[in-house]
Structure 1
Amino acid sequence: MFDFEFQNPTRIVFGKNSVAKLDALVPADARVLVLFGGSSAERTGTLAEVRAALGKRERREFGGIEPNPTYETLMRAVELVRAEKLNFLLAVGGGSVIDGTKFVAAAAGFEGDPWRILETFGGAVTSALPFGTVLTLPATGSEMNHNAVVTRASTHTKAFFANPLVFPKFSVLDPTKTYTLPSNQLANGVVDAFVHVVEQYLTYPVEGLVQDRFAEGLLRTLIEVGPKAVLEPRVDYDTRANLMWSATMALNGVIAAGVPQDWATHLVGHELTALYGIDHARTLAIILPAMLGLRRDAKRAKLLQFAARVWDITDGGEDERIDQAIEKTRTFFESLGVKTHLSDYNIGADAIDGLVAKLEEQGLTKLGERQDVTPTIARRVYEASL
């Protein structure tokens, strides 16, 4: 196991009717900006609950944060924070709203061009406004980590940043908020969480026994509860609670501590969102099976472990077991209604040059746990994903 330091300062408030606890979580004298996405937060009554819980605190609201939050939209929120001298942010939504709020928190007091936050992957951030979250869609884990992804619409650039200053102060997780979600959003959440775990687990062995077992438990839980959440019409609180907590645990740093991490699937998939607008989780479902297949030699030991411990595949030769594990993963995504080929989205071989060029433009030329995913390998992954 590698040496590591681990700290996660985010307070989790989990359970039914937990939005009402905002009154105790948000400072009484806070000047609050509530950030949210589309009309669903209003339609489902979540915003009404938030307003009631905030009481007489001075409050402004900023809606319209996109499913892939854009720099241009978020800068309007930054301008509002600066103009109104607001000092606390509250994200109400899923990972995109929370990611966007992290950028607003970092950019509000930033001196110079805020795009530098993305150009330096968060390294230029020296201060950030405090913020909390009310999670409505389990998927990204953004409610308990210090990572964010922002898209610059003008250049079709999807950029990542991380900084410990943008950990949420608290996150409210009420599984009943998932009851009104459409099945496609729930499916995206299951896939997103699953691939988050895989990116930290399917690398190479370092005797991180605790991390491996945690990761395998999360994957098996998602395989168990994912179809129930997505496909069964009856609302089941425990299923939704386990899905929500799995998605949070998938990317809060616990299973990443002391082990190598990959993230090539995410970064190669980002270009499909930036250039073609495919939902983030669905890009992961497209890229992951091809990525695992092409990199099987470097990942062999962990792929065999994945086959045995996650999919109960123990018979046959090594390559046969690996093939079965990858195919079971693809079938799992497909069973949720998430397609796994570029052709399902009418993207053909003529798109690959542009996708690879975008990776090269951003300097993403050495990806993966061994830094061996070059543009040449990325091209092969796109080709195998057709």
Structure 2
Amino acid sequence: MLNFEFHNPTRIVFGKDTVAELEKLVPATARVLILFGGQSAERNGTLAEVRSALGGRTRFEFGGIEANPTFETLMKAVNLVRAERIDFLLAVGGGSVIDGTKFVAAAANFAGDPWQILASFGGAVHSALPLGVVLTLSATGSEMNAGSVVTRKSTHTKAFFSNPLVFPQFSILDPTKTYTLPARQLANGVVDAFTHVMEQYLTYPVDARVQDRFAEGLLQTLIEIGPQVVHEPADYDSRANLMWAAAMALNGLIAAGVPQDWATHLVGHELTALHGMDHAQTLAVLLPSMLGLRRDAKRAKLLQYAERVWHISEGSEDARIDLAILKTREFFESLGVSTRLAGYGIGVEAIDKLVAALETHGMVRLGEHGDVDLALARKVYEESL
């Protein structure tokens, strides 16, 4: 097992009817900005609950944060924070709203060009406003980590930053808030959580038995409940398990002491930036190809994945690996998520621009071994057609 430090300060308040806990969690004298995306939080009553729980606190609202939050939109929120002397941020939504809120928290008092927050991967952040979360969509795990992804629309740049100062102080996780979500968002959430686990688990062995078993349990749980969540009427138990699995997938616990990959995510970012694909759609398209092309470097963990997650123990090593990758693809497809670029109208003519964008953004040595260069990334795109 590799050396590691682990610290996660986010308080989780989990269960039905927990939005009312905001009354205790948000300082009574706070000037609060509620940040959200579209109108679903208004229509389903979540925003009304939030307003009621905040009581007489001075509050402001900022809506319209995109599914892939943009720097341009978030800077409008930053300007509002500065103008109204806001001192507490409350994200009401899924990962995109939370990611955007983290950027606003870091940018509010930032001296200089706020894009440096992202250009420095968060290293330039030395202070941030406190923030809390009311989660309405289980997917990214942003409710319990210090990471954020923001897109600069003007340059088609999708960038990541992380800093412990933007850990949410608390996150309210009420599974009933996911009951009205459309199947596409639910499927995306399952794929997102599944691939988060894979990026930390499917690398190479370091005898981290606790982390491996925890990761395998999360993967098996998502396989069990994924089709139920997407295709069957909402029920509390499946939504609760998805909500907790998504948080556990990226709160740092299964990453402790193990090598991590993230090449699938970073190669996928260009598909979102240039073609507007949902983040989870890029993961479903690229992960099977990425695993197939990197089978030699990942052989030991692929065989472990095949046996422990998919119960494949017969046949040659290559046959077991092939079947495990096929089952991964079939799982994503069973959720209604296409695993081919053709399913999104993207053909071979797009690949040159995608590879050029990777080079422009410095994504030239990715993966746990740094072996995903531009030539291999091109092959991943080609295999994903």
**TM-score, normalised via structure 1 length:** 0.99
Amino acid in structure 1 at the alignment position of 2:172 = V
Structure 1 Cα separation of the partners of residues 106 and 278 of structure 2: 25
**Residue 224 of structure 2 is aligned to residue 211 of structure 1:** no
Amino acid in structure 1 at the alignment position of 2:272 = T
Structure 2 Cα separation of the partners of residues 129 and 107 of structure 1: 9
Q: Match for residue 349 of structure 1?
A: 348
Q: Match for residue 268 of structure 2?
A: 269
- CA offset digits 1:9-28 (Å, max 9, x no partner): 00000000000000000001
Runs of 4+ that moved beyond 4 A: none
- CA offset digits 1:198-222 (Å, max 9, x no partner): 0000000000000000000000000
| Unmatched segments (≥5 aa) in structure 2 | none
- Residue 358 of structure 1: CA displacement? 0.4
Q: Match for residue 308 of structure 1?
A: 307
Equivalent residues in 2 for 1:321-332 (5 A)? 321-332=320-331
Structure 1 Cα separation of the partners of residues 156 and 196 of structure 2: 23
Q: Secondary structure at the match of 2:159?
A: strand
- Residue 82 of structure 1: CA displacement? 0.1
- Residue 236 of structure 1: CA displacement? 1.3
Q: Secondary structure at the match of 2:257?
A: coil
Structure 2 Cα separation of the partners of residues 373 and 238 of structure 1: 39
Structure 2 Cα separation of the partners of residues 117 and 385 of structure 1: 33
Equivalent residues in 2 for 1:182-221 (5 A)? 182-221=182-221
Structure 2 Cα separation of the partners of residues 208 and 236 of structure 1: 34
Equivalent residues in 2 for 1:78-93 (5 A)? 78-93=78-93
Task: Give the % identical residues.
Answer: 76
Q: Match for residue 240 of structure 1?
A: 239
Amino acid in structure 2 at the alignment position of 1:7 = H
- CA offset digits 1:90-145 (Å, max 9, x no partner): 00000000000000000000000000001000000000000000000000000000
Structure 2 Cα separation of the partners of residues 347 and 228 of structure 1: 30
Equivalent residues in 2 for 1:125-136 (5 A)? 125-136=125-136
Q: Match for residue 148 of structure 1?
A: 148
Amino acid in structure 2 at the alignment position of 1:204 = Y
Structure 2 Cα separation of the partners of residues 71 and 33 of structure 1: 18
Amino acid in structure 2 at the alignment position of 1:147 = G
- Residue 254 of structure 1: CA displacement? 0.2
- CA offset digits 1:159-183 (Å, max 9, x no partner): 0000011100000000000100011
- Residue 148 of structure 1: CA displacement? 0.4
Equivalent residues in 2 for 1:1-386 (5 A)? 1-233=1-233, 235-386=234-385
Amino acid in structure 2 at the alignment position of 1:67 = A
Q: Secondary structure at the match of 1:69?
A: coil
**TM-score, normalised via structure 2 length:** 1.00
Structure 1 Cα separation of the partners of residues 257 and 120 of structure 2: 24
Amino acid in structure 2 at the alignment position of 1:344 = G
Structure 1 Cα separation of the partners of residues 253 and 228 of structure 2: 26
Structure 2 Cα separation of the partners of residues 21 and 219 of structure 1: 31
Q: Secondary structure at the match of 2:158?
A: strand
- CA offset digits 1:71-90 (Å, max 9, x no partner): 00000000000000000000
Structure 2 Cα separation of the partners of residues 346 and 134 of structure 1: 35
